[in-house]
């Protein structure tokens, strides 16, 4: 007896529920346009060939200000390796001039872009609350997402898995920290 589309869809959803990393790992990250702090247009697709840690944050977000120095230290630990950390602010256009001062006060020297909002975050599967972090493989595919403040182990585990040729257990497709 032929299977209905409904049966096949249910089977696929069941498989994805049992193997959460499998469904997410094949999903290409969105590629909207952003602006670097110097006004230059930027896209995540320009970073293909590297592991990319994308952190969405805002100048008014307390947990973000605790997380950013941690991400900066992590980025330094990967110097010389094909890993890129990019901060993307969801600040409203009127608040974007505050970004450099906040980063300087926190001693964070990471590539920083703007022109995102909560809809952008949602398109990455991060919901609408900052901070949120997505880790992309060298092909620009989403490997893991962290909703809320990322811990060092959350980021390091996924990055090391990707740098290590994906050996061992895959990182969680989604981690919620709030």
pLDDT digits (tens, 9 = 90+) for 107-159: 999 999 999 999 999 999 999 999 999 999 999 999 999 999 999 999 999 99
Residue 22: pLDDT band with limits 50, 70, 90: very low
Residue 178: pLDDT band with limits 50, 70, 90: confident
Residue whose entry in the numeric block shows the structure tokens 């490997």: 143
User: CB–CB of 99/34 below 8 Å?
Assistant: no
Q: What is the reported pTM? A: 0.85
* pLDDT of 28 above 60: yes
Give the pairing type, strands 83-89 and 142-147.
unpaired
Distance (Å, whole) CA 10 – CA 88:
36
SS3 category, 120: helix
């Amino acid at each position: 007896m032929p299977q209905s589309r409904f049966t096949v869809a249910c089977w696929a959803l069941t498989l994805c529920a049992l193997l959460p990393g499998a469904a997410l790992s094949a999903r290409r990250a969105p590629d909207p346009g952003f602006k670097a702090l110097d006004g230059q247009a930027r896209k995540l697709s320009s970073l293909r060939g590297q592991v990319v840690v994308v952190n969405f944050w805002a100048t008014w977000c307390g947990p973000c200000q605790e997380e950013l120095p941690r991400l900066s230290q992590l980025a330094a630990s990967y110097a010389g390796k094909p890993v890129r950390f990019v901060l993307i602010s969801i600040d409203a256009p009127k608040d974007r001039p505050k970004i450099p001062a906040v980063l300087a006060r926190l001693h964070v020297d990471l590539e920083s872009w703007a022109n995102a909002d909560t809809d952008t975050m949602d398109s990455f599967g991060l919901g609408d609350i900052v901070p949120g972090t997505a880790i992309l493989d060298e092909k620009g595919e989403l490997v893991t997402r962290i909703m809320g403040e990322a811990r060092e182990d959350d980021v390091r585990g996924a990055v090391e898995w990707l740098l290590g040729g994906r050996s061992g257990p895959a990182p969680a497709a989604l981690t919620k920290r709030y």
